[in-house]
Structure 1
C-alpha cells in the first residue's frame, strides 16, 4: 500500500506502508507532477490522479511507477476528483464543469456545465447511477448518470464546499463552513445538523453512521449521524489537519491524516472503544506543506476502502462489460459523441505539457 500526498510545492509524494508487528512507512517516489500547487488527489486499483491550480489533471501509473499523461479539459483549478470502480473518473473545476472520463482509453465521455460558479465538491452514489455536486452558485445538484442529465436542483442558503455519500448510499452530508447537514436519500430532507468550532477541511465516513471530521485545528472529531453528537475528540497533530483518509484492513479501521506541518500519520481506531481515541501506528515527515491525501491499496481483495464497499461490489460484474451501457446501467456517455470528440484534449504516455517544457528550455538557454 502507498500513502500518496500532494502539497503546495507542486510535488506528489509516495510512501510505502507495510503492516508487520509494527507498521512501517518508507519513501517510495517523488513526482513533480504540476507547475502549481496540488489541490486534490484520487486513487483506484491502478492509478493516482492529481488535480492542480495549473488547470490540469496528471495521471500516475502506480503499477509501473511512471507518469502516464495529462488531461487538459478544464479551464480553472481542479477542485475535486473521484473514481467510480475501475472504468470511470469524474472531475470538477472552477470552470463550473464536471467531466466524465473513461479510464481505459482516458477520453472525455461527457462534459457537463454543472454550476454557474465553481464546482467545489462532488460525490458518486455507490450504485454509480447518481452523482451529487455543490458549487459557488449556492446549489446542490443531483445528476442522473444513466442518462447524463440533471435530475434535481436544491437551493442552499450558503455555498457548500464538501458533499459526501454514506457507504450504503442511504444518506449524504453537506458541509457549509463549520456546519454539517445530514440528508436522507428517499426524502432529500435534512434529518440532522451539527456544527464545529472551526471550518471543516475534510470529512470521511468511517461507517454508515460515524463521521470523522477535521477542521482548522489539530483535532479529529468523530460524530454520530444518528444522534448528531460528538463521540470523541482527539488531538492528532501539532498544527492544522488538511485531509483525512480511512480504510479497513482485516476488520481494523485505519485512519490516515495529513497535516499542514508536513506530517502524515496512520492511526488505529477501535470502534468498540471510540471514546478512548486513536492509537498511533506510524508517522512520516514529508517536510512539505501538504494539501491533499489518499491511500493506494494494491491488494483490493484483502483491503477495502470504507467509502467504497458498496461501489466495489456493484461494479465487479460491470468491469467485464462494454463501457456503453445497456438499459438501467450506468451510461456516462455523450449520446451524440460529437461534443466529446471535439473537446477531447488528452496527452498520454510520453506526451507532456508544452508549457513546462518551454519554461525548462528558456531556463537552460538563459543559463547557457
Structure 2
C-alpha cells in the first residue's frame, strides 16, 4: 500500500512540475522591428503622380503629365517612357511579367507587352474617364469602371468588350478577390460586393468617409481606408467590421499587402508623409496589427506599391516601397539619359509620338496568358 501510495505521490509531483513548466514557457516573441532606408530616388514626372504598379522587375508610374515612366529596379535605372495616352494616367496594373494594363482620362485602356514595351491593343473603354481597372487572376478577364457610370467586363483573350453593366453612380475603384470568385466596386463611401457567377450584389459595406483605397487581405477579408486616419478590416461574407485602428495622423491614401517569410505585411501611406509597415496575424484578425517600422518621407504621398527584391529577400529586412509624391508642376523635367525611350526625338526631348497599335480586327495572341496557344473561350 505504501508503494502504491508513493507512485501516486510521484505522479502527482510530476504532473505539478509539468504544469509549472507549461506556465513558465516563454510566450511567442513579437515580430522584430524592420528598418526602411532610401534605395533609389528619381524625379519621375513634371506633375503629381496618380498611379504606380510593380512586378518582379519593373516599377511603373503614371502621372497627370500624361506619361508612364518605367524603372528597372534590378539595375536601379530609368528604363523609358510610354506616351500613348492623352490625359491623366488613372490606373496601372501588371499581369505577371509580360503584360501591363493602363487606363487614363482619355477613356482608353492600353495593353502593353513588357518585353518590347509596345502597345498591343488600345481599347476605347469608356465614354468618360477610366477611373479604375482590375485583372482577373486567370488573366482572361478584366474589369473597368469609368465616369460614364458603367462597369465593363473585357475579354482579354480577344481584346474586346464582353459585358456592360450600368451603375447608378460613378465608381472610382474596382478590385478582384485573390481567388477570382468575387469583385468589389467602390462608389464614394460604399463598397458593393459582387459574385462572379451571378454578377449580382451579395452585400454592401458603408463607412462614414469617402473611401480612398481597398485591398483584399484574404479571399474574404477586405482592408478599407477612407479619408480619415483609420484602417478597417471587414468580412465580405457578413459585411461586419472585424477590426479598426488608427494608423496615421492624417487621411490614408493607399494600402498595400504582401507575404514575406511567413508574415502577412500591410503597408500604408498617408497625406501626413508617413509610410508605415504593419504585421497582421491572420489567426487573430480581430487584434490590432503590430507596427514593424515607419518612415517620414516629408512629402505628400499620393499612391503606394511595394517592390520585393526576390534575389536578396533573405538578406534584407524590409521590402522596398515605391512611393509617389505630389511634384511641383512648375518644375522642369530632368533630362532623360536612356537611349531607348518611347517617344524621344533626336534632340533628346520627349515628344508626343504614338506607338503602333494592333488593328482592331486582329485577334490578340492570348495577351495575358503565358502560353502561346490560341484561346477559343469567349467569356
TM range (shorter): 0.7 to 0.9
Change beyond 3 A, Cα 1:106–1:352 = farther
Q: Which residue of 2 aligns with 1:286?
A: 297
Partner of 1:60: 71
Whether the aligned pair in 1 keeps the contact of 2:32 and 2:292 (CA below 8 Å) is no
After superposing on structure 2, the runs of 4+ consecutive aligned residues of structure 1 that deviate more than 6 Å are 300-303
Which one has the largest radius of gyration? 2
- Could you tell me how far apart the structure 2 residues matched to 1:353 and 1:286 are? 30
Distance in 1 separating the partners of 2:70 and 2:155: 27
TM-score between the two structures when normalised by the length of structure 2: 0.75
The answer to whether the Cα contact below 8 Å between 2:133 and 2:143 also exists between their aligned partners in 1 is yes
- Structure 2 residue 170 is matched with structure 1 residue 159: yes
How far residue 300 of structure 1 moved from its aligned partner, in angstroms, is 7.8
Q: Distance in 2 between matches of 1:61 and 1:241?
A: 28
How many residues in Structure 1 have an aligned counterpart in Structure 2? 295
Give the one of 237, 247, 267 matched to 1:236. 247
Equivalent residue for 1:346, pick from 342, 352, 368: 342
Cα deviation, residue 161, structure 1: 0.2
Q: Residue 129 of structure 1 corresponds to which residue in structure 2?
A: 140
TM-score normalized by the length of structure 1: 0.77
The answer to whether the Cα contact below 8 Å between 2:130 and 2:147 also exists between their aligned partners in 1 is yes
Query: Quick one: structure 1 residues 276 and 29, their matched pair in 2 at CA, closer, same or farther if it must change by over 3 Å?
Result: same
Query: Taking structure 1 as reference, are residues 352 and 273 closer, same or farther at Cα in structure 2, changes over 3 Å only?
Result: farther
Structure 2 equivalent of residue 319 of structure 1: none
**1:103 counterpart = 2:99:** no
For the 8 Å contact 2:150–2:167, the answer to whether it is kept is yes
Deviation at 1:301, TM superposition (A): 11
Structure 1 unaligned blocks of 5 or more: 1-19, 304-344, 356-368
Deviations 1:263-306 (A, max 9, x none): 00000011222222111000000000000000001218979xxx
Q: Deviations over 1:281-340 (max 9, x none)?
A: 00000000000000001218979xxxxxxxxxxxxxxxxxxxxxxxxxxxxxxxxxxxxx
* Structure-2 change in CA distance of 1:248 and 1:300 (3 Å): farther
Q: Which residue of 1 aligns with 2:267?
A: 256
Measured in 1, the distance between the counterparts of 2:152 and 2:311 equals: 31
Root mean square deviation, CA, Å? 2.0
